[in-house]
Structure 1
Amino acid sequence: MNQEHRVTICLGSSCFSRGNKHVLEIVKSYLKEHNLEPTVFFSGELCTGLCEEGPVLKIDGNLYKAVSSENIYEILDEYFGHS
């Protein structure tokens, strides 16, 4: 399995309570729906230290702040080329 991309979600208490719990489920579903699971390593990490700007998500090192269930689809579509 060749995992070409890395998606990391902050699981710190601040980000998680601000909505990353829902974002986590959306990302998992999105990767499955678009058959990206074989090429994307999806993981969580402890606090990124950006609590005031969270929820935080990283895709291949690119940092996304204030991620929500409203904007996560746009972020993923833009990055992975789906619409």
Structure 2
Amino acid sequence: MLVTICIGSSCHLKGSRDVISILERLISLHGISDKVELTGSFCMGECAKGVCVKVDDELYSVSPATAETFFNEQILGRI
């Protein structure tokens, strides 16, 4: 599973670095680093919505406060 997190300026200001840290921790905690690849990308065109995260080909808006719920539903839920 490919998970791409926007690290452009708008998403950076909205907490993309924290979202990355949270997802890295949860992936490690659940022992699924062999099944999930985290990558970064610049602007994905959805700046107004929050930190853009793409799972395979679906875009989501995530914040540091919603990152764990996102992980449980969209990443663990697909594995």
Query: What is the TM-score when the length of structure 2 is the normalising length?
Result: 0.88
Cα distance in 2 for partners of 1:62, 1:51 equals: 15
Aligned-CA RMSD value: 1.0
8 Å CA contact retained: 2:2, 2:37? yes
For 1:78, the aligned partner's letter is E
Percent same amino acid among aligned pairs? 34
- Give 1:78 deviation, angstroms: 1.1
Amino acid at match of 2:40: G
Partner of 2:34: 38
Number of aligned residue pairs: give it: 76
Q: Shift of the alpha carbon at 1:60?
A: 1.7
Residue 54 of structure 1 deviates from its aligned partner by: 2.1
6, 24, 48: which is aligned to 1:28? 24
Partner of 1:7: 3
Give unpaired runs (5+ residues) of structure 1: none
Aligned with residue 71 of structure 2, among 76, 80, 83: 76
| TM-score, structure 1 normalization | 0.84
**Runs of at least 5 residues in structure 2 that lack an aligned partner in the other structure:** none
CA distance in 2, matches of 1:32, 1:62: 23
- Give how far 1:35 is off: 0.7
Residue 47 (structure 2) aligned to one of 25, 35, 51: 51
Q: Is 1:64 aligned to residue 60 of structure 2?
A: yes
